[in-house]
Structure 1
């Protein structure tokens, strides 16, 4: 074995996906994700069920990641795991397993902040994928988070804007629920929006000072609007689904892009990178690309498989921390809330 090769096992269990990945010198050898379908029945993630499913999935998922990478577990240089933020029960499964395996293999243990990992996923070594130069603005958009971050270096980040209530993914999913779409509804809104008129039904954008976001008002506006229309026409949703989805998506994208424009103007930074599950949304990707022509931005969008929760991004942070020997010890504990 080449002594220069560093093999990192990444473990991600912050919400309802159990994932394991092997990276060799920043290149992905495997990235296995086991999704939990059970939550669809409840219209959202049930924490207790999520942690139980992680317990069932974690051993086969890690075993598969090691096998697909074509290595033996004795080859692994270090184990990186999600310490937080996330659901406590889910995080505990990944944290406990990572600690046990690191102890058994007598290799370093590396704790990773889930939100930093979404940003640093841009540094995974992928053929043909350019990496952003420092400093850049990162917008992390997911079911649980909406943030704008100045990224000065790998581990020198400053949050300059965040949601004061709901996250953007929550706004998508809850709007979808109002329309009678199944969970997770965000991708379905995106799908219907592609056939609809984005200006069919104007929704008011919330006025929030600075670079912070708010989505709870929009969610309420959608609810009242739909209730009013259905009262007048019981078939309103069926007849106008594409247009309503397109209008909701258009409003959400405008909120995000307006704040990004403001952040870029205030900081003078024109390099923009997005991450998190909602960055898979086709409308957001298109709006970001348009920003290159309109505002002179240079934009970075991760590959689809690195946008949602995955262990490759955790292993990538592990690789970067391994290089600077930033390890943790067995006293490390999972944290449902973190601040980097």
Structure 2
């Protein structure tokens, strides 16, 4: 979708939008009202998790996820409208994740949104899932553009300069695994249940992070890119030597500290770059890994060091949810940026498409981070 020539609201009234999110293993729907002054109000936010369905497999099974979305989305959307106290006639638009994500799940939510929009004569907004995370902090607190964003989750890890609605410049991204993926996969090698990230954090509370020495990836790297593959491999080998619960707790603590340290180091580089181009000093961290207490602590300290205001969404809006999709859709709708019923579901969809095309992080045909 093309970016607007300028981020000036074209609507001078409040907009109420139904948002739908089905990019992975949460079926979510929400209703958000956006006031003309940019203040958002979450009228409802429903998230139906599929953790129990995927737990026996130790990770998300795409076919199971898509099937569950089909079975649940109608009821979840109806519940979101009921809890918001609004009917379809009160909506100004429908927003749905159109990518990136598991293509089967993305197709379910986007198809439902198209049908709903067509039946009710409402505009459709196809939203980039990453843009949803980018605006998630704006659901509950002022976060004026521009700001520096660290988007860190199970499928994504990147630093972005967010200039306005749909205007993002990539400063750095992971060269292999995302931070959340590293958390989950290392947790699996430690015998922890799915989803592994929160379980590893709980285990790490009783551990000694200094006991194990882990590799410092991209040591000396002067850019803003990340790498977690080597850390993941080293931790997996060390996990084989763990014999006691204390051994596993110590390794979990070391892994968590190593991931938090790399996130802080790269963010520090990005802050120096951002400060050269902007007077604004707002740093936003979003995505599922933003719920990790140590990660937040390290990033908050880094922001303080560089004179940035630190902002993270409430924990409920760190992980995948539809409120962020509804808000991203409402901000686009306010600028007249709508989508046709031919909007495509996309398994990969970078926020900064120009940089992704000019400087791809993955060679053609290689699998890697969704972004």
TM class by smaller structure: over 0.9
- 1:191: how far off? 1.2
Secondary structure of 1:258's counterpart equals helix
Give the equivalent residue in structure 2 for 1:241. Answer: 248
CA contact (8 A) 2:165 2:332 kept: no
* CA displacement, residues 82-125 of structure 1 (integer Å, 9 cap, x when unaligned): 0100000000100110000000000100010000110111222x
- TM superposition shift of 1:202: 2.0
Q: Partners of 2:13 and 2:180 in 1: how far apart?
A: 40
Cα distance in 2, alignment partners of residues 134 and 242 from structure 1 = 41
Deviations 1:151-209 (A, max 9, x none): 11222111111111111111001110111101111001111222222222121111164
Cα deviation for residue 267 of structure 1 reads 2.7
- How far off is 1:271 after superposition? 2.2
Paired residue for 1:27?
Answer: 41
Structure 1 portions without partners, runs of 5+ = none
Scaled by the length of structure 2, what TM-score is found? 0.86
What does the per-residue CA deviation read over 1:115-138, in whole Å, with 9 as the maximum and x for residues that have no partner?
0110111222x3xx3x23332210
Query: 2:318 aligned to 291, 307, 311, which one?
Result: 307
Aligned residue for 1:173, secondary structure, equals helix
Show the 5 A alignment for 1:52-67: 52-67=67-82
Is the aligned partner of 1:278 residue 2:289? yes
SS of 2:163's equivalent?
A: strand
Q: Is the 8 A contact 2:224 2:270 kept in 1?
A: yes
Question: Aligned pairs, how many?
Answer: 328
2:369 maps to which residue?
none
Gaps of 5+ in 2: 1-11, 35-39, 352-371
Match of 1:9 in 2: 18
Q: Give the aligned partner of residue 122 of structure 2.
A: 107
RMSD of equivalent CA atoms: 1.4
Which residue matches 2:356? none
Alignment match, 1:119: 134
Task: After TM superposition, list the pairs within 5 Å mapping 1:1-340 onto structure 2.
Answer: 4-25=13-34, 26-36=40-50, 37-124=52-139, 126=140, 129=141, 131-207=142-218, 209=221, 210-227=223-240, 229-230=241-242, 235-236=243-244, 238-268=245-275, 270-340=281-351
Alpha-carbon distance between aligned partners in 2 of 1:293 and 1:158, rounded to the nearest angstrom: 23
Contact 2:150–2:160 under 8 Å retained in 1: yes
Partner Cα separation in structure 1 for residue 143 and residue 116 of structure 2: 34
Return the alpha-carbon distance in structure 2 between the equivalents of residues 28 and 250 of structure 1: 34
Distance in 2 between residues matched to 1:23 and 1:318, nearest whole Å = 10
Instruction: Please report how far the alpha carbon of residue 295 of structure 1 lies from its aligned counterpart in structure 2 after TM superposition.
Output: 2.9
